[in-house]
Amino acid sequence: NLPKSVRIVEVGPRDGLQNEPKRIETAQKLELIRRLAESGLKTVEATAFVSPKWVPQMSDHQEIMKHLMAAIEGSNADISFPALVPNLKGMEAAVETGVREVAIFASASEAFSKKNINCSIEESLDRFKPVLSCAKSNGIKVRGYVSCVIGCPYEGRVSEESVAKLSKQLIDLGCYEISLGDTIGVGSPGSVSRMIRRVQQDVQTDKLAVHFHDTYGQALANILTSIQLGVAVVDSSVAGLGGCPYAKGATGNVATEDVLYMLEDLNVETGVDLGQVLQAGQYICKELGKENGSRAARALLTK
């Protein structure tokens, strides 16, 4: 009972790069985004309008977004470049660039909320209200992330109840979609299916996305579980780049190449060309001097 097609939300340029210690040039990020966009991806999360003191790697957000918006201006290109915004200050900076889509991010665990955005869950919801009204008056789409949907690096297990509650609150605030993030990658199909089934009681399945990190090697199994439950939007990161600055030990997101390899075999359409994503991954790994984190990429490239 799989969806006929799945939309891949590529998060490499943001989630993948935010934690890189070495400064990556804006031009390199833009080249990565250009290659990803050419592969047929319809959503490429491009940057984050967060504090440069907290996440220095995203400090060129203005330049990145201005460039991307200029590149698609006037065209009817069916592609979105969302940016993360944590508060109204970030939202206002994003609006100046002509951004068409943003993502707000809340945590299902109190301790992680404090570490990541320096406020409680309740306070974060209050901060998002003006962000949502600003978005509404500017015709900007808002995606919502819930992080720590299975476990928290500080609090341990996170209840399904709190994930469902927060997801519903973000939908009620005006988010068009909720991305359920297993930020530290501790979930496996048992816990993931319990969590999704609980969230489905409060939020329609066509408003859900999943966001897995591969810390325990469970990400693909978790994605299969999620799509079997009807979820048709999957976040992933080219070459498996990433990690979270406030979640020690968390590895990268599931690799886009690995997800595509699995979905192709399941005859689930994505509209994305695996070969082109592979080349985009090789490009950024070479620039970063890193080994490609995608198992499918490593196998396909040595074939």
How many angstroms separate the Cα of 298 from the Cα of each of 6, 79, 94, 240, 255? 24, 28, 36, 11, 11
Beta strands 7-10; 83-84: pairing state: unpaired
What is the C-alpha separation between 225 and 21, in angstroms, rounded? 34
What is the C-alpha separation between 10 and 238, in angstroms, rounded? 7
| Of residues 198 and 298, the one with the C-beta less far from ligand HMG | 198
What is the C-alpha separation between 267 and 260, in angstroms, rounded? 10
15 binds Mg ion (CB under 5 A): yes
Q: Which residue number has the CB closest to ligand HMG?
A: 181
- Residue showing tokens 């609006």: 95
| Of residues 118 and 204, the one with the C-beta less far from ligand HMG | 118
Give the pair of three-digit tokens for residue 128.
Answer: 């998002």
What is the C-alpha separation between 240 and 247, in angstroms, rounded? 16
Residue 187 contacts which entry, ligand HMG, Mg ion, none (Cβ below 5-8 A, type-dependent):
none
Site residues (vs ligand HMG, CB under 6 A): 15, 18, 48-51, 54-55, 84, 86-87, 89-90, 105, 116-118, 145, 147, 181, 183, 211, 244
Residue 45 contacts which entry, ligand HMG, Mg ion, none (Cβ below 5-8 A, type-dependent):
none
200 sits in which H/E element: helix 189-200
What is the C-alpha separation between 183 and 214, in angstroms, rounded? 9
Binding window for Mg ion (CB under 5 A); candidates: 15-23, 58-66, 112-120, 293-301: 15-23
Exposed, middle or buried, 119 (CB in 10 Å: 0-12/13-18/19+)?
middle
Catalytic-labelled residue, pool 134, 148, 244, 285: 244
What is the C-alpha separation between 57 and 68, in angstroms, rounded? 18
CB of 14 to ligand HMG, least distance (A): 8
CB of 11 to ligand HMG, least distance (A): 7
| Of residues 49 and 278, the one with the C-beta less far from ligand HMG | 49
Residues in CB range of 70: below 8 A, 6 or more apart: none
CB of 44 to Mg ion, least distance (A): 15
CB of 52 to ligand HMG, least distance (A): 6
What is the C-alpha separation between 108 and 199, in angstroms, rounded? 12
Q: CA 47, 151, 270, 176 torsion: positive or negative?
A: negative
Binding window for Mg ion (CB under 5 A); candidates: 9-17, 50-58, 115-123, 277-285: 9-17
Residue 256 contacts which entry, Mg ion, ligand HMG, none (Cβ below 5-8 A, type-dependent):
none
| Of residues 30 and 158, the one with the C-beta less far from ligand HMG | 158
| Of residues 215 and 274, the one with the C-beta less far from ligand HMG | 215
Q: At what angle do helices 160-173 and 121-137 cross, to 10 degrees?
A: 30
Give the pair of three-digit tokens for residue 158.
Answer: 């996170």
| Of residues 48 and 142, the one with the C-beta less far from ligand HMG | 48
Residue 48 contacts which entry, Mg ion, ligand HMG, none (Cβ below 5-8 A, type-dependent):
ligand HMG
Q: How many residues bind Mg ion (CB under 5 A)?
A: 1
Beta bridge mates, 156: 152
CB of 211 to Mg ion, least distance (A): 6
Residue 86 contacts which entry, Mg ion, ligand HMG, none (Cβ below 5-8 A, type-dependent):
ligand HMG
Residue 147 contacts which entry, Mg ion, ligand HMG, none (Cβ below 5-8 A, type-dependent):
ligand HMG
- Over its C-alpha atoms, the chain yields an Rg (Å, rounded) of 18
Query: Does residue 148 carry a catalytic annotation?
Result: no
Provide the binding-site residues for Mg ion, judged by CB under 5 A. 15
> Which residues are known catalytic residues?
244
